Structure 1
Amino acid sequence: MKKLLLTVLILVLGAALAACGGKEKAGDDKTLTFGATAGPYSDMLKKAIIPGLEDKGYKVTVTEFGDYIQPNNALNDGNVDANLFQHTVYLENFAKENNMELSSLIVVPTAPLGIYSKKFESIDDIADGSTVTIPNDPVNAARALIVLEANGLVEIDPNVEPLKASEKDIVKNPKNLVVTPIEAAQLPRSVESADVAAVPGNFALAASMNLTDALVLEDMPDQFRNVVAVKTENKDEQFAKDIIEVIESEQFEKVIDSDFQGFGKPAWMQ
């Protein structure tokens, strides 16, 4: 009797431990769960990626998250098979800081940071002494300054690593712009009060702004474009190969061109 009870206890504990470890995907499993934040990239999954996967026989569900932490936690735990919400720089930093083995699978078209204004009709019209709001987080602030510099509005100290530059690193400011960092979520609203605002694409879309209304859009490097991410151990699994094939298809690009106007395409799509 004791042996029977011990055997039952071992089986129960084994099942509980397996459940705690997250799901493991079998090679012939045709179900997929994607993680995403609500907004344009959840829409991209539903409109441009999932239909192609369903044509390949997959049953796909999307789990939406309200922050930029849980999608990677869920991926690492095996509660989602892939996610789409972050760029390469964020993914690599997050994985390193949290000791996770996560990898980029493929880069997708991404909403770029744009320079917006209700006062000026072109980048050349920006007047002397204009106020310019930019994001106050380091990565997006640097991106905004790179765009301003590319359009001849400021010059950044060449000794500063471009992706770490802040408004304090401006060494030339020919139009005497008043550059003010604020919370990125407040930037769309600042278009009404500031002369010029540098708004990251995801915040612009969340505020129902039209990307093509920007005076200029960022020519973003691929490291700032969003990626489909998977656990590193799954990069060569069939489902990962099928995701890549769908995203590289002509149908995917047709949907991007029709429903995601203004999104910057990665190098592989050029």
Structure 2
Amino acid sequence: MKKFGLVLTASALALAACGEEEAAEVTSEAGVEGETQAITLGATAGPYSDMLNKAIVPQLEELGYEVDVREFSDYIQPNIALDNGDLDANLFQHTVYLESFEEQHSMDLSALIMVPTAPMGIYSNVFDSIDAIEDGATIAIPNDPVNAARAFLILEDEGLIQLDPEAETLTVSEQDIIENTKNLKFQPIDAGQLPRAVEGSDLSAVPGNYALASEMDLLDALALENMPDQYRNVVAVTADNEDSELAADLVEIVESPEFEEVIDAEFEGFGKPEWMTEE
């Protein structure tokens, strides 16, 4: 079982020359008297490292944790770092990706709690509304199956296509389209290039994190996805640490009114998971 490192932050200095002793001691709510718990959290650069720094880290520090936030530029290293103990938790991925990644890489990771997530949107510099989309328009979509399925679900919600009702919702593809009312043409490209595709295509289905990283306004989208909870990002830890004090503190922080206040003020357009919207 991996253990979170403990770092002594108080020391007793023996002043032999004058025969005096001084002791500095810190009592931490996160750990044992005289000790503080140093942790490292990971996230992709952009909205989710911002979410850590603005909505989660301040409350962790109030509990006595010493927190370092490490930013990543890809979706591979954050889970590798979590699995090998370089991170104590991460925030960047949805449940579908997490489960697929740990299966492919023989890891045992656990999703603690879902957080508000930037939705995928349909953006255009050519059309100013869904109704204005012309017959035969080209739409750039993610070239990976998981995010492509999300794009097709948005298009179906907006009445632009109809998907086979027998198809698996989370894995629908172009082959599952049984009606294409606008004769849309699909242009699969790397998800990271989709913000640029807004300039080169009639339409572009841009995942929220890439939109924000490109300084796009989520509310400028012609349509935002009605995101299934499986696509909302999660705070993740290793299975060994699922029942740790840190895990419990992270869940309590995300469920707190203070967390939601920061989300409402700083993360406009982010879709909240069902547990946050239930009355």
- Counterpart Cα distance in 2 of 1:67 and 1:37: 7
- Counterpart Cα distance in 2 of 1:210 and 1:102: 33
Q: 1:164 aligned to 162, 171, 183, which one?
A: 171
More helix by share: 1
- Counterpart Cα distance in 2 of 1:78 and 1:229: 13
Contact 1:23–1:79 under 8 Å retained in 2: no
Matches of residues 15-94 of structure 1 in structure 2 within 5 Å?
A: 24-25=4-5, 28=31, 30-94=37-101
CA RMSD of aligned residues (A): 1.7
Name the structure 1 match of 2:251. 244
Deviation at 1:30, TM superposition (A): 2.1
Contact 1:205–1:211 under 8 Å retained in 2: yes
Normalising by structure 1, we get a TM-score of: 0.88
Deviation at 1:127, TM superposition (A): 1.7
Name the structure 1 match of 2:111. 104
Name the structure 1 match of 2:157. 150
Name the structure 2 match of 1:226. 233
Name the structure 1 match of 2:262. 255
- Counterpart Cα distance in 2 of 1:108 and 1:152: 28
Normalising by structure 2, we get a TM-score of: 0.85
Name the structure 2 match of 1:132. 139
Deviation at 1:23, TM superposition (A): 5.4
Cα-to-partner distance string for 1:168-189 (whole Å, 9 max, x where unaligned): 3222111111122122122111
Identical aligned pairs, as a percentage?
60
Residue aligned with 1:212, SS = helix
Stretches of 4+ aligned residues off by more than 6 angstroms: none
Question: Number of aligned pairs?
Answer: 250
Structure 1: unaligned runs, 5 residues or longer = 1-20
Distance 1:22 1:236, change over 3 A: closer
Residue identity in the other structure for 2:250: I
Deviation at 1:158, TM superposition (A): 2.6
Deviation at 1:25, TM superposition (A): 4.7
- Counterpart Cα distance in 2 of 1:51 and 1:87: 24
Residue aligned with 1:142, SS = helix
Name the structure 2 match of 1:117. 124
Residue identity in the other structure for 1:83: N
Deviation at 1:84, TM superposition (A): 0.6
1:205 aligns with 2:197: no
Residue identity in the other structure for 1:154: I
Residue identity in the other structure for 1:88: T
Name the structure 2 match of 1:12. none
- Counterpart Cα distance in 1 of 2:276 and 2:42: 24
- Counterpart Cα distance in 2 of 1:82 and 1:174: 44
Q: Which has the higher contact order (CA 8 A, sep 6+)?
A: 1
- Counterpart Cα distance in 2 of 1:186 and 1:77: 30
Deviation at 1:162, TM superposition (A): 2.3
